[in-house]
């Protein structure tokens, strides 16, 4: 909680927050540049002037320049400068940052010219990044199929699933076995199946290859039966997902994967059996996100499916009757409910929306202070959330742009740091309460308070002085 005594600021977090503050005056942005190693965030700002960019490049701090290269708002002129930087990692970052081309002044052909500059870069890291980047024009990307480094050609096959036929043919006939193997795994779906190819694929040691074969709609029944008994759950999951799989077989595969889903302890203890245990982990993870298109196309038939992934696939349909939509919104499986919410948010009534929100279990593997709402709620609901027993809902109350000041003050004194961090940037929070959060015991709250656009300029200056800037 915030203290009442002298402001004992967590200086580094406060300065990091200032680096993200959209209201930070330009002269203070320049002052932040004097502390580059801790402040990559200042190089990620969308409002950098040419003078600021030139200063960052001139200081040549590796991490800050790397962050600048990734900045999608960076103008093409400076991106071209960084494309000639001595550090391969920075040149590679230029490719990633330039792929989106958000900067409004970027010429239409700027991306192509940038990629042309780097396509023959001497550093493998740069060419690998190009091989993975969808935005590279196809004719330029195709040149990497003749790259002298086999690893670049492997990356190209793995990351360019939609490569044109001429590129596929080159990679499938590559003199290096590793490249041919990667290309074969990626492109055999384009090949006509014959007995020899089927036999070769069915005996491939890579379960992903056998799974790809199992998914082929033109697979003969005898081989389908063989793969149904494959020892790998990854392969059998591909059988599960087929529309022509007998229901008894589908149920058996689903039960096997879900009942044998390993824990972290199982993985640690697996020892010699690690490979199979890991494949069960892969299959269980893939099952949870499986959304077969054929299920969505026949959505009404699968609203009552015993398989949550099929009900979630049905929830992707925009053609379900309202009774089916409501049923899926009330589904016991959270992924089904959330999918239906995303498909038809306009059909979620306020009472159901609040019920879904209360039942939502946010991702505990993500950063603990992030509380993303499932839905948009009316102001009256958000104000009730402000005094709810659940910290996640109290934090969500800050989504109300007109949150009353007394509620904002109460949330700024909340026992949960995540709630205090959420309200720190709210426009309804009185200035004294915002300044008090700069003294909070939790560094994330200090960061959020320093990042608030409502922080007075003299407080911004004080923080910079405290940091020696």
Q: What is the pLDDT of residue 88?
A: 96
CA 162 vs CA 33, 36, 141, 191, 334: distances in Å: 43, 41, 12, 14, 33
CA 158 vs CA 128, 153, 212: distances in Å: 11, 9, 14
* CA pair distance 48, 78, nearest whole angstrom: 12
Q: What is the pLDDT of residue 371?
A: 57
Q: What is the pLDDT of residue 360?
A: 83
Q: Please provide the size of the chain in residues.
A: 469
**Alpha carbon of residue 204 to chain centroid:** 32
Contacts of range 241-247, beta carbons closer than 8 Å, 24 or more positions apart: 241/215, 241/290, 241/292, 242/214, 242/215, 242/217, 243/292, 243/294
Left if phi > 0, otherwise alpha if psi is -120 to 50, otherwise beta: which for 21?
beta
Q: What is the pLDDT of residue 267?
A: 66
Angle at which helix 11-20 crosses helix 443-450, to 10 degrees, equals 40
* CA pair distance 39, 155, nearest whole angstrom: 33
* CA pair distance 178, 157, nearest whole angstrom: 10
* CA pair distance 453, 465, nearest whole angstrom: 19
Q: Contact at 8 Å (CB) between 118 and 126?
A: yes
Q: What is the pLDDT of residue 368?
A: 40
Torsion of CA 434, 435, 437, 439, to 10 degrees: 180
The pair of structure tokens assigned to 271 is: 């020892």
pTM here is 0.79
**86, burial (CB in 10 Å: exposed 0-12, middle 13-18, buried 19+):** exposed
Q: What is the pLDDT of residue 388?
A: 94
Left if phi > 0, otherwise alpha if psi is -120 to 50, otherwise beta: which for 74?
beta
Q: What is the pLDDT of residue 200?
A: 85
The pair of structure tokens assigned to 340 is: 């239906």
Which residues, given as ranges, of the chain have pLDDT below 50?
1-8, 364-370
* CA pair distance 232, 223, nearest whole angstrom: 15
Q: What is the pLDDT of residue 38?
A: 56
**20, burial (CB in 10 Å: exposed 0-12, middle 13-18, buried 19+):** middle
* CA pair distance 409, 419, nearest whole angstrom: 11
Q: What is the pLDDT of residue 7?
A: 47
* CA pair distance 136, 116, nearest whole angstrom: 9
């Amino acid at each position: 909680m915030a203290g009442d005594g002298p402001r004992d600021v967590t200086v580094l977090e406060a300065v990091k927050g200032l680096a993200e503050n959209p209201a930070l005056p330009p002269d203070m942005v320049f002052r932040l540049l004097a502390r580059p190693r801790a402040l990559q965030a200042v190089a990620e700002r969308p409002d950098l002037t040419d003078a600021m960019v030139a200063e960052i490049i001139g200081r040549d701090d590796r991490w800050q320049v790397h962050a600048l290269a990734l900045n999608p708002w960076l103008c093409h002129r400076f991106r071209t400068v960084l494309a000639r930087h001595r550090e391969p990692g920075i040149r590679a970052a230029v490719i990633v940052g330039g792929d989106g081309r958000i900067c409004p002044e970027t010429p239409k052909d700027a991306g192509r010219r940038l990629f042309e500059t780097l396509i023959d870069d001497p550093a493998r890291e740069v060419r690998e990044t190009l091989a993975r980047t969808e935005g590279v024009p196809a004719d330029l990307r195709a040149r990497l199929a003749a790259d002298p480094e086999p690893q670049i050609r492997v990356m190209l096959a793995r990351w360019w699933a939609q490569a044109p036929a001429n590129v596929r043919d080159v990679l499938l006939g590559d003199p290096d076995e590793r490249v041919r193997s990667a290309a074969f795994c990626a492109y055999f779906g384009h090949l006509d199946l014959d007995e020899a190819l089927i036999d070769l694929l069915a005996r491939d040691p890579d379960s992903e290859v056998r799974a790809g074969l199992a998914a082929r709609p033109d697979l003969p029944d005898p081989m389908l039966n063989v793969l149904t008994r494959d020892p790998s759950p990854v392969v059998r999951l591909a059988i599960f997902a087929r529309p022509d799989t007998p229901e008894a077989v589908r149920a058996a595969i689903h039960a096997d994967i879900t009942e044998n889903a390993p824990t972290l302890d199982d993985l640690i203890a697996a020892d010699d059996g690690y490979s199979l245990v890991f494949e069960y982990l892969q299959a269980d993870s893939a099952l949870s996100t499986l959304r077969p298109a054929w299920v969505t196309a026949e959505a009404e038939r699968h609203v009552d499916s015993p398989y949550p992934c099929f009900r979630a696939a049905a929830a992707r349909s925009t053609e379900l009757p309202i009774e089916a939509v409501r049923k899926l919104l009330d589904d016991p499986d959270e992924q089904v409910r959330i999918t239906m919410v995303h498909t038809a948010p306009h059909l979620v009534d306020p009472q159901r929306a609040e019920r879904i929100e209360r039942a939502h279990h946010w991702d505990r593997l993500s950063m603990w202070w992030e509380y993303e709402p499932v839905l948009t709620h009316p102001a009256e609901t958000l104000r009730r959330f402000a005094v709810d027993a659940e910290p996640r809902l109290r934090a969500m109350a800050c989504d109300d742009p007109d949150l009353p000041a007394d509620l904002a003050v109460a949330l700024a004194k909340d026992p949960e740091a995540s709630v205090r961090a959420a309200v720190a940037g709210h426009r309804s929070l009185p200035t004294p309460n915002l300044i008090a959060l700069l003294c909070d015991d939790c560094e994330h709250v200090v960061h959020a308070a320093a990042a608030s656009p409502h922080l007075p300029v003299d407080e911004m200056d004080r923080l910079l002085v405290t940091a020696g800037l």
